[in-house]
């Protein structure tokens, strides 16, 4: 963990954080069914296909994308999926 290597947190705290993370329920989503939508979103936004998977999934699942990545947020907030984009500080 980067913070532990930098000396920002002690090893026991890093181990506890990892243990907490493993208890989080994570759903894995196949990307290939999202390819047509993600590609169209990337082309419209002039952004990477990689970042376009998130709004494509949000569109399919009818849910928001919450992000703290300002560049990512700004790339999509003004486009066709702007209603899906939520800035983390809004909470």
Please indicate, yes or no, whether residues 22 and 49 belong to a single structural domain of this protein.
Answer: no
Contacts with 14 (C-beta within 8 Å, 6 or more apart), sequence order: 1, 3, 4
Please indicate, yes or no, whether residues 26 and 36 belong to a single structural domain of this protein.
Answer: no
**Residue range of the domain that includes 7:** 1-30
Please indicate, yes or no, whether residues 16 and 58 belong to a single structural domain of this protein.
Answer: no
pTM: 0.71
What domain count does the chain have? 2
Helices (H), 1-91: 2-5, 11-22, 35-45, 49-61, 70-77
Please indicate, yes or no, whether residues 26 and 37 belong to a single structural domain of this protein.
Answer: no
Please indicate, yes or no, whether residues 19 and 49 belong to a single structural domain of this protein.
Answer: no
DSSP helix/strand/coil, 22: helix
pLDDT in tens, the chain (91 residues): 577 788 888 888 888 888 887 888 888 999 999 999 999 999 988 889 999 999 999 999 999 999 999 988 988 888 888 899 999 988 7
Please indicate, yes or no, whether residues 42 and 54 belong to a single structural domain of this protein.
Answer: yes
């Amino acid at each position: 963990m980067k913070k532990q290597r930098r000396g920002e947190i002690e090893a026991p705290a890093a181990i506890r954080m990892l243990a907490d993370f493993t208890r989080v329920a994570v759903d894995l989503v196949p990307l290939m069914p999202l390819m047509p939508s993600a590609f169209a979103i990337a082309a419209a936004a002039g952004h990477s296909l990689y970042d376009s998977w998130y709004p494509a999934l949000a569109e399919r699942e009818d849910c928001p994308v919450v992000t703290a990545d300002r560049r990512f947020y700004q790339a999509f907030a003004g486009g066709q999926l702007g209603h899906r984009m939520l800035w983390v500080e809004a909470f």
